[in-house]
Amino acid sequence: MRADLAASYGEERLPRYTSYPTAPHFSPAIGEGAYAQWLAELPAGASASLYLHVPFCREMCWYCGCHTQIVRRDELIAGYQRTLRNEIVLAAETIGRRIKVEHIHFGGGTPTIMAPEAFVELMATMRQKFFVLPSAEIAVEIDPRTLTADMVEAMRLSGVNRASLGVQGFDPVVQRAINRVQSFEQTASVVDMLRRAGIAGINFDLIYGLPHQTVASCLDTVRRSLALAPDRFSVFGYAHVPDFKKHQRMINEAVLPDGLARHDQACAIANALMEAGYLQIGLDHFARPDDSMAVAFEERTLRRNFQGYTTDKGEVLIGFGASAIGHLPQGYVQNEVQIGAYAQSIAAGRLATAKGYGLTDDDRLRADIIERIMCEFSADLGDICARHGAEAGTMLSSAARLKPLISDGVVRLDGNRLAVAKDSRFLVRSVAAAFDAHLNPAKQLHSRAV
Q: Is 11 in the same domain as 58?
A: no
> Does a structural domain hold residue 450?
yes
> Does a structural domain hold residue 333?
no
CB 211 within 8 A of CB 178: yes
Report the distance separating Cα 429 and Cα 418, nearest Å. 14
**Can you say whether residue 409 is alpha, beta or left, with left for phi > 0 and alpha for psi between -120 and 50 degrees?**
left
Report the distance separating Cα 116 and Cα 173, nearest Å. 33
CA-CA distances (angstroms) from residue 131 to 49, 155, 359?
11, 19, 28
Angle, CA 61 vertex, CA 60 and CA 66 arms, to 5°? 85
The predicted-structure confidence for 376-426, as pLDDT tens digits, reads as follows 999 999 999 999 999 999 999 999 999 999 999 999 999 999 999 998 888
Residue 450 or 208, more confident: 208
User: Can you give the pLDDT at residue 241?
Assistant: 86
Q: What is the mean pLDDT of the chain?
A: 94
E strand intervals along 121-200: 131-142, 162-168
Report the distance separating Cα 266 and Cα 222, nearest Å. 11
Q: Is 110 in the same domain as 221?
A: yes
> What CATH number corresponds to the domain at position 129?
3.80.30.20
Q: Is 418 in the same domain as 309?
A: no
> Does a structural domain hold residue 175?
yes
User: Can you give the pLDDT at residue 263?
Assistant: 85
> Does a structural domain hold residue 346?
no
Q: Is 387 in the same domain as 272?
A: no
Q: Is 222 in the same domain as 133?
A: yes
> Does a structural domain hold residue 416?
yes
Residue 425 or 172, more confident: 172
Q: Is 179 in the same domain as 280?
A: yes
Q: Which domain holds residue 59?
A: 23-325
Q: Is 229 in the same domain as 321?
A: yes
Domain end (from 272, 303, 325): 325
Q: Is 158 in the same domain as 247?
A: yes
pLDDT over 90 at 114, yes or no: yes
Domain end (from 325, 347, 369): 325
Q: Amino acid identity of 300?
A: R
> Does a structural domain hold residue 9?
yes
Task: Give the pLDDT band of residue 442 (cuts 50, 70, 90).
Answer: low
Enclosing H/E stretch for 398: helix 392-398
pLDDT over 80 at 446, yes or no: no
> What CATH number corresponds to the domain at position 370?
1.10.10.920
Of 98, 298, 46, 59, residue with least CA distance to 180: 59
The predicted-structure confidence for 350-368, as pLDDT tens digits, reads as follows 999 999 999 999 999 999 9
Count: domains in the chain: 2
> Does a structural domain hold residue 341?
no
User: Can you give the pLDDT at residue 119?
Assistant: 98
Domain end (from 325, 351, 385): 325
Kindly report which listed range (59-73, 225-239, 383-397) carries the lowest average pLDDT score.
59-73
pLDDT over 90 at 312, yes or no: no
Q: Is 255 in the same domain as 294?
A: yes
User: Can you give the pLDDT at residue 443?
Assistant: 55
pLDDT over 80 at 6, yes or no: no
User: Can you give the pLDDT at residue 66?
Assistant: 85
Q: Is 29 in the same domain as 128?
A: yes
Q: Is 447 in the same domain as 375?
A: yes
Residue 260 or 359, more confident: 359
> Does a structural domain hold residue 27?
yes
Q: Is 28 in the same domain as 3?
A: no
H and E: helices and strands count for the chain = 16, 21
Task: Give the pLDDT band of residue 308 (cuts 50, 70, 90).
Answer: confident
The predicted-structure confidence for 89-110, as pLDDT tens digits, reads as follows 999 999 999 999 999 999 999 9
pTM beyond 0.85, yes or no: yes
Of 406, 310, 407, residue with least CA distance to 301: 310
